[in-house]
Amino acid sequence: MRTLKLTVAYDGTNYVGWQRQENGLSIQQVIEEAFAPLMGAGPAGGPPPAVVGAGRTDAGVHALGQVASVTMDCDLTTSAVQGALNVRMPLDVRVVEVADAPIGFHARSQAAGKTYRYRVATAPVLSPFDRLYVFHAPGRYDVPAMRTAAALLVGRRDFASFQTTGSWPLDTVRTMLRLDVQETGDELTMEVDGDGFLRHMVRAIAGTLLEVGLGRRAPETVTAVLEARDRGAAGRTLPASGLTLVTVRY
Please state the rounded mean pLDDT for residues 173-196: 97
182 strand-pairing partners: 189
Question: Same structural domain for residues 62 and 127?
Answer: no
Residue 114 has what pLDDT? Answer: 98
Per-residue pLDDT tens for 18-41?
A: 999 999 999 999 999 999 988 865
In a domain, 86, yes or no: yes
Q: Is 100 a catalytic residue?
A: no
Can you give the residue range of the structural domain that contains 205? Answer: 113-249
Please state the rounded mean pLDDT for residues 142-151: 98
- Domain final position from 79, 101, 123: 101
Residue 45 has what pLDDT? Answer: 62
Question: Same structural domain for residues 130 and 95?
Answer: no
CATH number at residue 82: 3.30.70.580
Residues 6+ apart with CB under 8 A from 212: 142, 145, 146, 148, 149, 218, 219, 222
How many structural domains does the chain have? 2
Exposure string for 172-184, b = 16+ CB within 10 A, e = fewer: bebebeebebeee
- Domain final position from 101, 132, 149: 101
Reported pTM: 0.94
Residues 6+ apart with CB under 8 A from 77: none
Contact of 103 with 1, CB cutoff 8 Å: yes
CA distances from 9 to 69, 110, 216 (A): 14, 20, 36
- Of the listed ranges 74-78, 109-113, 180-184, 199-203, the least confidently predicted one is 74-78
Question: Same structural domain for residues 76 and 124?
Answer: no
Question: Same structural domain for residues 126 and 243?
Answer: yes
Residues 6+ apart with CB under 8 A from 122: 137, 138, 139, 140, 141, 186, 187, 188
Contact of 4 with 72, CB cutoff 8 Å: yes
pLDDT of 42 higher than 60: no
Share of residues in the chain with pLDDT > 70 (%): 96
CA–CA separation, 8 vs 224, rounded Å? 38
Question: Same structural domain for residues 230 and 125?
Answer: yes
Q: Which of 11, 58, 92, 171 is catalytic?
A: 58
